[in-house]
Amino acid sequence: MSAVKNVIKDNYNMMLLKDYLRDAIKDAGFSHAEISKTPVGTRVALHVTRPGIVIGRKGTGIRALTDKLALDFGLKNPQISVVEIEKPELSPSVMCNRMQSHLERGTAFRRATMWTLKQIMEGGAMGVQITISGKLRGDRSAFEKHTQGILPRAGHHAEIIVDEDIAHVKTAMGLIGVRIRIAKKEKLVPEFEMKDDKTKKGKSDNKPVIKVEEILIGDNKVEVIKVEGKKDNAESESAVIEIESKKIETIETLEEEEAKLK
């Protein structure tokens, strides 16, 4: 097999693996996976919002996931480490999954979009753009773009600062696509400087503490990187969606504001 075919096969397998992980550990708030080959085997770093769900009771979850990666995806001796995401609101994958869950529960797409915009900007993003397309209202397909803050659209700066992800939602009307692009202040290149940051210099930052733990599961050690001091105490992503669904109902859409003015 040629080198080109090997690259295509590896990329295809990584795409299948990402789709599987997005579905299998969705409740853990899966964001992305970093896979690297070592002389001993394959190192897989899973970035999630709730590491406890991935590990499972007495390590049952991590064992089953290790066997799955080895048997179905052909990874040699997979060594899994779990990394907790410091700010879930700045992860496009996590926010796509949350918005997808809201739409699947029947939340109006504009309510879900406004709520997601609000959560991302309050999480400390420099800018965000949400594009939603598909059978939104009737038989004809349509799309809407909602933008807030500063978001570089093209060029070298956009490649460095902006992260994006896409999710697809199956509804009674048809398939809906959600694309979220987030510009992060932490990735600002030297040529850029946010004016708001000048006033914050000298103030103490209450940054969460990163704690690294090693858990012995059978004969293997699993490295878990946790973030201490996070405000979110929900047990799973399903619990987060349940809590947010009640708060979303308080958001007024443009249609409701126009109806009041009439």
Per-residue pLDDT of the chain (262 residues; tens, 9 = 90+): 578 888 888 888 888 888 899 888 888 889 989 888 888 888 999 999 988 888 888 788 888 898 888 888 888 888 888 999 988 999 999 999 999 999 998 888 989 999 999 999 999 899 999 999 998 887 788 899 999 998 988 887 788 889 999 999 988 888 899 999 999 887 766 665 666 554 444 444 556 677 777 777 666 777 788 777 666 667 788 888 888 888 888 776 666 666 666 6
SS3 203: coil
Which of 128, 109, 143 has its CA nearest to residue 181?
128
What tokens does 58 get? 């007495």
Query: Helical H runs in 105-203?
Result: 109-122, 156-161, 195-200
pLDDT value at position 190?
62
d(CA 98, CA 112): 9
What tokens does 206 get? 């209450």
pLDDT value at position 204?
45
pLDDT value at position 199?
46
pLDDT value at position 93?
93
- DSSP string of 212-250? EEEEEETTEEEEEEEEET-S---SSHHHHHHHHHHHHTT
pLDDT value at position 115?
93
Q: What is the DSSP letter of 182?
A: E
Domains and their CATH numbers in the chain: 3-86+210-231 (3.30.300.20), 96-202 (3.30.1140.32)
CB 116 within 8 A of CB 133: no
Pairing of strands 78-84, 220-228: parallel
